[in-house]
Amino acid sequence: MASEAKLLMVQFLDWVAARPRTLAETRAAWSSTCPLNCAWEDAISDDLVACHPDGSVRLTPRGYARRTAVAA
């Protein structure tokens, strides 16, 4: 993953972790048609975030670990 993509992923994970987010809010803010700017889609496929039945989007344990690893 290119360094710009890694930074974008960290920003996305930080954004999700900052406060409760809804699926609609997350899609509106982070969906992209650009294949180089797909943090939301990559986070789902890499199991860094999960969509819950109540409509919320939250970090998974793997997502928390990714944030911690980058911050260290």
Tell me what pLDDT residue 55 has.
Answer: 93
DSSP string of 42-53, one letter each residue = HHHHTTSEEE-T
11-35 per-position pLDDT tens digit: 999 999 999 999 999 988 888 766 6
Domain ranges of the chain: 3-71
- pTM summary value: 0.84
Q: Over 60: is that where the pLDDT of 1 sits?
A: no
User: How big is the chain, counted in residues?
Assistant: 72
**DSSP conformation class of 72:** -
Candidates 70, 68, 62; CA nearest to 8 is 70
Q: Determine the Cα–Cα distance for residues 1 and 5; give it in Å rounded to an integer.
A: 6
Class of domain 3-71: mainly alpha
Q: pLDDT (tens digit, 9 = 90+) per residue, 33-56? A: 666 568 888 899 999 999 999 999
SS3 content of the chain, % helix, strand, coil (to 5): 60, 10, 30
